[in-house]
Amino acid sequence: MPTTFLVDCDTGIDDALALSYLACRDDVEVAGIVSTGGNVPVDAVHRNNLALAELLGLTVPIARGADQALVEPPMYADDTHGPQGLGHAVLPEPSRAGDPRSGAQLWVDLARERPGELVGLVLGPHTNLALALEIEPELPRLLKRLHIMGGAINHRGNTGPTSEWNIAVDPEAAQRVLTEFATALRLPVLGALQATEQIVFTATELERLEHLAAADSHPVARILADAVRFYFEFHRADGFGWTAHVHDPLVTAHAVTGEFASTRPLAVDVELAGTLTRGQTVGDELGRWGREATVELLTAVRSAEFVEHLLTTLETGLR
């Protein structure tokens, strides 16, 4: 039986790699996609999701999320992902319209239609999942599991000194999600920066994507190669050299296979009031709060094994 996912993403270069990976897997069914503003504004994310899903053969409901975060003023990462969100890639105009429902309503409807079956995968800010919890407070008990790329636990941030992008864009939403899902049937899996930054694409991986694209293969191969090349240019400009940190696919592949990392329980909450630390995900390693764990944190990442798995899956599926 395939695992059924709802993917909530701010596509984005690594989101596109994750969506492509899911589309290449025979053991995965994508039931729906929610477009959340983050790397680029929500309309650019939505266009990317509609165009990419069509090219990937994902004929599923794709719903546009909210215009902005619950409280935090809008911020975007077009320096990192390009003005349209997929670097140098040029995508065709989607021929299908998005689902008329809101992103939050799509979360609720799909979870109600498939109680206990749907796995949530959040690869961007938590805005629309938080709004879905307002519609359906039972969501944590309707979903089979939730997997999140986000946060930095006792690790430097990539957005503020202590904050990671997906949390920093909408800290109130992230806190609401972690609080409500602490009562879920199984704790959410959290792939934070200390795990996902171990996934580093080198020139070798970029060359493999370029080679796949040059082989007149699937149109998405060219899109991924052109997007990832932009990502390398950003990382080089940001002082990381000719490489790229690829965050979303690790959390996605672990959600599909249970492989490439282990997990450990930890009580995690989100700082909202800190003048210097707003948006920080704080992990209570010593149990000072006396609270139950709220997440299963990804640890012990097997990065080389994962990178090979990701590239091989794309090279096999995007032919």
Catalytically active residues are 247
Q: Order of strands, edge to edge, in the sheet holding 62-64? A: 62-64, 28-35, 3-9, 118-122, 145-149, 189-191, 295-299, 262-266
- For residue 131, give the nearest of 65, 74, 76, 54 by alpha carbon: 65
45-53, 139-147, 164-172, 212-220 -> range binding ligand RIB (CB under 6 A): 164-172
Least distance in Å: CB of 189 to ligand RIB? 14
If 0-12 CB within 10 Å is exposed, 13-18 middle and 19+ buried, where does residue 20 land? Answer: buried
The residue behind tokens 């995690």 is 268
Residue 94 or 124 with smaller CB distance to ligand RIB: 124
Least distance in Å: CB of 61 to ligand RIB? 22
The interface mask with ligand RIB, positions 212-251, x = CB under 6 A, is -----------------------------------xx---
Interaction between residue 87 and ligand RIB (CB under 6 A)? no
Interaction between residue 280 and ligand RIB (CB under 6 A)? no
Q: How many residues comprise the chain?
A: 319
Q: Is 164 left (phi over 0), alpha (psi -120 to 50) or beta?
A: beta
Interaction between residue 87 and Ca ion (CB under 5 A)? no
Interaction between residue 124 and Ca ion (CB under 5 A)? yes
Interaction between residue 14 and ligand RIB (CB under 6 A)? yes
Distance CA 255, CA 233 (A): 29
Interaction between residue 82 and ligand RIB (CB under 6 A)? no
Helix 13-24, helix 219-237: angle, nearest 10: 150
Interface positions with ligand RIB (CB under 6 A): 10, 12, 14-15, 38-39, 123-124, 149, 158, 164-166, 247-248
